[in-house]
């Protein structure tokens, strides 16, 4: 299965100092996973190919948290999905997370999805996101700052009332992970 340039989640949010994602490598990674775990992949499953964050340092830092086993959750503005013209993910769907150089590093599988606003974030979710000191207070500060940048790029105004997709995930592939190199 080939992942083309029109796959979901390639958005117009500026990706500072990041290279385009390597779709050929992402397709190869997906095919390796599919062959190893055909029971985990439906015939119509096409993973999204994306990365964490909006600049190279943040992207690689968040990916490192995933690969270390600490980060098992993420939160995305629903407006980001709308801007991409793609539906929200569903439980069991997959996505390929790339590093800042565009190289695919891991395949993630969505295990829990919940819609809400920033007021619906809780200590457990902040802890599972594994950012900063893992506290809700730090999560709120960091995410408001991040989403303000995202909203500016999307030409909308940040508001605490914007709908957020709270997602928990597992690392599906590779089965053996190591730290980022380079």
Residue 10 in domain: no
Write the CA distances from 172 to 13, 79, 162, integer angstroms.
Answer: 27, 27, 30
Residue 13 in domain: no
Number of domains in the chain: 1
Residue 16 in domain: no
Question: Is 160 a residue whose pLDDT tops 90?
Answer: yes
Tokens representing residue 82 in the block: 């709308």
Question: Is 2 a residue whose pLDDT tops 70?
Answer: no
Contact 95, 29 (CB under 8 A): no
Question: Is 119 a residue whose pLDDT tops 90?
Answer: yes
Q: Which domain holds residue 105?
A: 23-168
Q: Are strands 104-116 and 94-98 parallel, antiparallel or unpaired?
A: antiparallel
Question: How far is the C-alpha of 22 from the C-alpha of 129, rounded, in Å?
Answer: 26
Write the CA distances from 21 to 10, 48, 49, 163, integer angstroms.
Answer: 9, 11, 8, 27
Residue 62 in domain: yes
Question: How far is the C-alpha of 74 from the C-alpha of 89, rounded, in Å?
Answer: 13
Residue 173 in domain: no
Question: Is 100 a residue whose pLDDT tops 90?
Answer: yes
pLDDT at 177: 52
Average the pLDDT over 103-119 and give the result: 98
Residue 136 in domain: yes
Q: Is 116 helix (H, G, I), strand (E, B) or coil?
A: strand
pLDDT at 16: 66
Question: Is 13 a residue whose pLDDT tops 70?
Answer: no
Tokens representing residue 104 in the block: 């695919």
Question: Is 7 a residue whose pLDDT tops 70?
Answer: no
pLDDT at 175: 78
Question: Is 44 a residue whose pLDDT tops 90?
Answer: no
CATH of residue 33: 3.10.400.10
Q: Find, among 143, 127, 167, 171, the residue nearest to 54 by Cα.
A: 143
């Amino acid at each position: 299965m080939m992942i083309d340039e029109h796959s979901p989640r390639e958005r117009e949010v500026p990706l500072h100092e990041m290279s385009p994602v390597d779709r050929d490598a992402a397709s190869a990674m997906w095919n390796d996973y599919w062959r190893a775990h055909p029971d985990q992949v439906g015939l119509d499953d096409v993973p999204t190919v994306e990365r964490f964050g909006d600049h190279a340092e943040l992207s690689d830092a968040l990916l490192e948290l995933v690969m270390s086993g600490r980060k098992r959750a993420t939160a995305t503005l629903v407006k980001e999905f709308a801007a991409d013209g793609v539906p929200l993910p569903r439980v069991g769907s997959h996505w390929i997370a790339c590093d800042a150089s565009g190289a695919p590093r891991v395949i993630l599988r969505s295990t829990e999805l919940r819609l809400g606003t920033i007021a619906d974030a809780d200590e457990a979710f902040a802890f599972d996101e594994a950012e900063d000191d893992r506290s809700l207070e730090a999560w709120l500060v960091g995410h408001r700052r991040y989403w303000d940048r995202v909203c500016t790029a999307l030409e909308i105004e940040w508001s605490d009332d914007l709908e957020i997709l709270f997602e928990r995930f597992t690392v599906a592939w590779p089965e053996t992970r190591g730290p980022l190199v380079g």
